[in-house]
Amino acid sequence: MNKQTKVWLVLSIALSLLALGSACGGGTKTDTNAPATDATAAAPYSGPTGTIAGVISYTGTPPAPKKIDTTADPVCGQKSPNLSTDDTVVKDGKLANTFVYIKEGTVEAGKKIGEYSWPTPTSEVQLDQNGCHYAPHVLGVQVNQKLKITNSDATQHNIHPTPKLNQEWNQTQANGAPPIEKAFTRAEVLIPVKCNQHPWMKAYIGVLKHPLFSVSGDTGAYEIKGVPPGTYTVVAWREGGANGEEKTMQVTVPANGAAKADFSFGAATSSNASSLQMMPALELPVHRH
């Protein structure tokens, strides 16, 4: 073995050790909590889409809103003298603030909805504090989408989401302070939000990996756009109790068409959240009792 060969031998051994070291040292850290769908192989869906739309009803007599005692903060009382609870907002039998979303399902091509990648929207979602009240009361964001929290009041708030899967935080926002920008890194339906200054303030944020969600408005109506044709489990969630109340329905969405999915909450409906019902597209809503 001549001198040159020896040098090469030593060099190549050193290089192999280096390679081994970096492979074992992890540069390939994986987040074990992240769903498998985070794989870089996932591609966005491209193709025709349809919609899921419906109306959320409330059967029976809804609980009357309760007046909120705001004497703890005179600023709140001055701006919102008639502040009342908004956990059950019903108008003409229709329920607002219901979060409706695609939980799971299969696109016509046979791929699961979660196997597609859904780009993070560049638009932000706003949560305002106005009159010592969160607006909107229920909202949805995508994972990592910017949530912009504003304070329109002449008093201090302290925003405090209490997630189970995401990181908990709370932050004071003084009168006139700039917006607080946050994002949630994991899907979670839904995250309760409270204010450490004003115990009556409540909001709920649904965080999903995809944009296939909607919140019912004052007429009880909601619409989910951009849905790939397929068959899905659609969940309607409304607040109440420890973790809210859920209704589930199986919905088939045609390409370039509309599927209807009406849900009903309230005293007169069963609270059976697990029963699935086939819901052919473009037919009249099936009322569940």
Nearer to Cu ion, 198 or 210 (CB): 198
- Report the residue from 57, 97, 166, 197 that binds Cu ion according to the rule CB under 5 A: 197
Say which amino acid occupies 163.
P
Instruction: Determine the interface stretch with Cu ion among 14-22, 28-36, 196-204, 216-224 (rule: CB under 5 A).
Output: 196-204
Is the CB of 157 or the CB of 247 nearer to Cu ion?
157
Residue 54, C-beta contacts closer than 8 angstroms, at least 6 positions apart: 100, 221, 222, 260, 261, 262, 263, 285
- What pairs with residue 58 in β-bridges? 265
Coarse DSSP helix, strand, coil percentages of the chain, rounded to the nearest 5 percent: 10, 35, 50
Question: Which positions from 139 through 168 interact with Cu ion, judged by CB under 5 A?
Answer: 157
**Least CB distance to Cu ion at residue 164 (A):** 22
Q: How far apart are CA 282 and CA 178, in angstroms?
A: 47
Separation CA 112–CA 265 (nearest Å): 29
Q: How far apart are CA 16 and CA 38, in angstroms?
A: 31
- Applying CB under 5 A, among 55, 187, 195, 203 the residue interacting with Cu ion is 195
Please give the span between the terminal C-alpha atoms of the chain, in angstroms, as a whole number.
Answer: 88
| Contact between residue 252 and residue 283 where contact means Cβ atoms under 8 Å apart | no
Residue 116: how many CB atoms within 10 A of its CB?
Answer: 17
Binding status of residue 198 toward Cu ion by CB under 5 A: yes
- Owner of token pair 């339906």: 189
Q: How far is the CB of 129 from Cu ion (least distance, A)?
A: 6
Among 40-48, 138-146, 197-205, 221-229, which window interacts with Cu ion (CB under 5 A)? Answer: 197-205
Using the minimum distance from each CB to Cu ion, give the nearer residue, 8 or 169.
Answer: 169
68 binds Cu ion (CB under 5 A): no
> Of 201-209, 211-219, 220-228, 235-243, which segment contacts Cu ion by CB under 5 A?
201-209
Query: Which residue number, 182 or 198, has a Cβ lying nearer to Cu ion?
Result: 198
State in angstroms the smallest separation of the CB of 204 from Cu ion: 16
Can residue 173 be called a binding residue for Cu ion (CB under 5 A)? no
Q: Which is nearer to Cu ion, 198 or 238 (CB)?
A: 198
Positions in the binding site for Cu ion (CB under 5 A): 157, 195, 197-198, 201
